[in-house]
Amino acid sequence: MAILDGKVPGGTIEQIWDDHKFHMKLVNPANKRKHKVIVVGTGLAGASAAASLGELGYNVSAFCVHESPRRAHSVAAQGGINSAKNYKNDGDSVYRLFYDTVKGGDFRAREANVYRLAQVSTQIIDHCVAQGVPLAREYGGLLSNRSFGGAQVSRTFYARGQTGQQLLIGAYQAMMRQVDKGQVKLFNRREMLDLVVVNGQARGIVVRNLATGAIESHEADAVILATGGYSNVFFLSTNAMACAVTGAWRAYKRGAYFANPCFTQIHPTCIPVSGELQSKLTLMSESLRNDGRVWVPKTKGDKRPANQIPDSERDYYLERVYPSFGNLAPRDVASRQAKYRVDEGLGVGPTGKAVYLDFRDAIQRLGKKAVQEKYGNLFEMYEKITGENPYETPMRMYPAPHYTMGGLWVDYNLMSNIPGLFVAGEANFSDHGANRLGASALMQGLADGYFVVPYTISNYIASTKIEKVATTHDAFKEAENNVRAQITQLMGIKGNRSVDSFHKQLGHIMWEYCGMARNEKGLTAALTEIPKLRDEFWQNVRIPGDANYVNTELEKANRVADFLEQGELMCLDALERKESCGGHFRDEYQTPDGEAMRDDANFCHVAAWEWGGTANKKPTRHTEELKFENVKLATRSYK
């Protein structure tokens, strides 16, 4: 076990990034074109990094699993993006955004990273507007803001319920401009299946061309992974179907450390599960909690239609328990409270696993038209899925896996412990600690891609001896053989069960034992069940068809094979973190009123795991100490 160094430069928190930018080495403009950078993933972090590096003059190769980079899952983010603009004159500042984010993350993020995130948040909005991103505006023509969970200021910029889509299209168009100029080369329908490390440096990737089945090698001077999060380990989540841990996991198996895998976010407002055949869950933006009120009946088994239950018999439990934040309590807190109500038998709807999110009062106060203007598309989506009209009857909501704060360990420069391997966006672990605040994911993805990685990559390239490497190098051959061998093995099993059936079973284990609440007994059980399931997968999975062309079952099998390993690491991490913090809630460590109880004496650190060499060998737990010199360690309270 080693103590990791986050390599945060010295200085006061306000000055660190500016000083660091000055001290970092630069690559001469004429030399940039001699350097190649691989970007894996074209969501907000990947597309913005590819665009910015292309603008700087690097030769960029961008890879996405989709047919088009515009389809990356960032597109689905609804609510908004935070920025410390203080356009509302309501007391916001870079320091307050920094403070809120550190506190919201329950003191498990690196202070200097979070401060930098808050600093560049203002540039992000400027840049996106310049790109033509049509953010919401007031009648005077200036930008509009709204408040979001966990904050008492209105700092969230938005584009109706489609903020992610609009920001992604902005980044995608910026990247396509570089494709047009020949600075970025686009490789679509490619899935990264291995990282190539030469002389200890990340020098390339091996991908499978999903349209032809071909295995291809690509070399570069540095590799950026922007491959998103791993919520799909739960099978049912709000993530898109192709979201996977595979890119990050294959890097982990080549030596990159995986940090805080147990820090997962269960989003409080999602449409509840309806049946076994359901393929995914749909989130309803947190912005709905600005005007919607969350409640359950006060009496168990109250089966009256919601509208017939009078106010006196409703428990608006978030307003009751957290009078100062009310319905805007942070996600982990709101989710846990919903779980408590359902566990108490007060849940609503056919399954009893839901709470109400009610717009009756907002419609009375603001009028139906104003509510429609704000949330129209979300209400429509709800009605399409459930067949119920939320203008007339309250929405039914239940928490669902949504975002993963954990990810590959990176230092202040967003570089992993493998030199030359950078990790951006949700795929890294750095900024959100144990719980992410609403409207912070889009901010972090774009901060990393537009404003951080382009600087730190230049520094790496300028200060590192990087020898010429071709894809004929043995390390590439070895990685290709590794990928081919796994595919051959998977195709050769010819068992009796579909990939999905394994994925669903894993999802049940994860949700049961490593979901909203965890305990030693459950986690220990999961650590026996997962390896068993993994063994069965490798003996009994059935993948029809041919590996040498489009094979969607093979694609899923590659991803589920990784989830079957990563799920185990999540449970191990959750077991060893003997405290509750943010989204990681251990039943054994709670205050008398059911709030998370941190153990700062023993767990004020990042846990970064090192692959043991095989799936059945225990990985090594390294730590990075977290120091809170600006935001003082305190118990989080939203009461």
Partner 1 sequence: MGGTHSQNINLKLKVWRQKSAKDQGAFVEYDAPNVSTDASFLEMLDQVNEKLVQAGQEPIVFDHDCREGICGSCGFMINGNAHGPQKHTTVCQLHMRQFKDGETLVLEPWRAKAFPVIKDLMVDREAFDRVIKSGGYISVDTGNAQDANNIPVPKPDADEAFASATCIGCGACVASCKNASAMLFVGAKVSHLALLPQGQVERAERVHRMVTQMDAEGFGACTTTGACSAACPKGISLSNIARMNRELLVGTLTKKEAAEGDGI
Kindly identify the residues of this chain, within the stretch 42-61, that bind partner 1 according to CB under 8 A.
48, 51-52, 55
Of the residues 155, 289, 331, 534, only one is catalytic, namely 331
Compute the distance between CA of residue 386 and CA of residue 580 in angstroms, rounded to an integer.
35
Question: Looking at 7-15, 19-27, 541-549, 575-583, which segment touches partner 1 (CB under 8 A)?
Answer: 541-549
Compute the distance between CA of residue 90 and CA of residue 88 in angstroms, rounded to an integer.
5
Near partner 1 by CB under 8 A: residue from 58, 172, 537, 563: 172
* Alpha carbon separation from 269 to 100, 319, 358, 402, 581 (Å, rounded): 21, 16, 12, 10, 20
Give the number of residues in contact with partner 1, rule: CB under 8 A.
Answer: 91
Does the annotation count 331 as an active-site position? yes
Interactions with partner 1, residue window 600-619 (CB under 8 A): none
CB of residue 129 to partner 1, shortest distance in Å: 4
- For residues 456 and 23, is the Cβ–Cβ distance under 8 A? no
Q: Does 350 bind partner 1 (CB under 8 A)?
A: yes
Near partner 1 by CB under 8 A: residue from 30, 142, 470, 601: 142
Q: Does 123 bind partner 1 (CB under 8 A)?
A: yes
Q: Does 393 bind partner 1 (CB under 8 A)?
A: no
Q: Does 387 bind partner 1 (CB under 8 A)?
A: yes
Near partner 1 by CB under 8 A: residue from 385, 485, 633, 634: 385
Q: Does 1 bind partner 1 (CB under 8 A)?
A: no
- For residues 609 and 565, is the Cβ–Cβ distance under 8 A? no
- For residues 596 and 332, is the Cβ–Cβ distance under 8 A? yes
Q: Does 370 bind partner 1 (CB under 8 A)?
A: no
Near partner 1 by CB under 8 A: residue from 2, 214, 241, 633: 241
CB of residue 403 to partner 1, shortest distance in Å: 15
Q: Does 174 bind partner 1 (CB under 8 A)?
A: yes
Q: For residues 405-434, b (16+ Cβ closer than 10 Å) or e, as one string? A: bbbbbbbbbbbbbbbbbbbbbbbbbbbbbb
Question: Looking at 236-244, 260-268, 288-296, 461-469, which segment touches partner 1 (CB under 8 A)?
Answer: 236-244
* Alpha carbon separation from 530 to 233, 276, 615 (Å, rounded): 12, 20, 11
- Residue 554 or 572: the one with the smaller Cβ distance to partner 1 is 554
3-state SS of 122-147 is: HHHHHHHHHHCCCCCECCCCCECCEC
Near partner 1 by CB under 8 A: residue from 138, 512, 520, 576: 138
Compute the distance between CA of residue 107 and CA of residue 111 in angstroms, rounded to an integer.
9
Compute the distance between CA of residue 508 and CA of residue 528 in angstroms, rounded to an integer.
14
Compute the distance between CA of residue 459 and CA of residue 463 in angstroms, rounded to an integer.
6
CA-wise closest residue to 42 among 68, 76, 8, 17 = 68
CB of residue 98 to partner 1, shortest distance in Å: 20
CB of residue 591 to partner 1, shortest distance in Å: 35
Q: Does 137 bind partner 1 (CB under 8 A)?
A: yes
Q: Does 396 bind partner 1 (CB under 8 A)?
A: yes
Q: Does 272 bind partner 1 (CB under 8 A)?
A: yes
Near partner 1 by CB under 8 A: residue from 10, 29, 91, 140: 140
Interactions with partner 1, residue window 454-493 (CB under 8 A): 454
Near partner 1 by CB under 8 A: residue from 93, 152, 282, 623: 282
Near partner 1 by CB under 8 A: residue from 211, 214, 485, 634: 211
CB of residue 556 to partner 1, shortest distance in Å: 10
- Residue 128 or 338: the one with the smaller Cβ distance to partner 1 is 128
User: Which residues, including other chains, have CB under 8 Å from residue 52's CB and lie 6 or more apart?
Assistant: 174, 449, 450, 451, 453, 454
Cα atoms found within 13 Å of the Cα of residue 598, Cβ hemisphere only: 20
Binding flags for partner 1, 65-104, as an x/- string (CB under 8 A): -xxxxxxxx-xx--------x-x-----------------
Q: Does 542 bind partner 1 (CB under 8 A)?
A: yes
- For residues 403 and 76, is the Cβ–Cβ distance under 8 A? no
CB of residue 189 to partner 1, shortest distance in Å: 9
CB of residue 506 to partner 1, shortest distance in Å: 16
Which helix or strand (DSSP H or E) is residue 294 part of?
A: strand 293-297
- Residue 455 or 603: the one with the smaller Cβ distance to partner 1 is 455
Q: Does 131 bind partner 1 (CB under 8 A)?
A: yes
Compute the distance between CA of residue 431 and CA of residue 346 in angstroms, rounded to an integer.
36
Question: 3-state class of 636 per DSSP?
Answer: coil
Q: Does 388 bind partner 1 (CB under 8 A)?
A: yes
Q: For residues 604-639, b (16+ Cβ closer than 10 Å) or e, as one string? A: bbbbbbbbeeebeeebebbbbebeeebbeeeebebe
Q: Does 520 bind partner 1 (CB under 8 A)?
A: no
Sign of CA dihedral 415, 448, 176, 554: positive
Q: Does 129 bind partner 1 (CB under 8 A)?
A: yes
Helices 474-493 & 520-540 angle (0-180, nearest 10): 90
Q: Does 21 bind partner 1 (CB under 8 A)?
A: no
Compute the distance between CA of residue 218 and CA of residue 196 in angstroms, rounded to an integer.
9
CB of residue 350 to partner 1, shortest distance in Å: 3
Interactions with partner 1, residue window 565-604 (CB under 8 A): none
Q: Which residue has the tokens 């400027």?
A: 126
Sign of CA dihedral 412, 416, 419, 421: negative
Question: Which residues have a catalytic role annotated?
Answer: 331
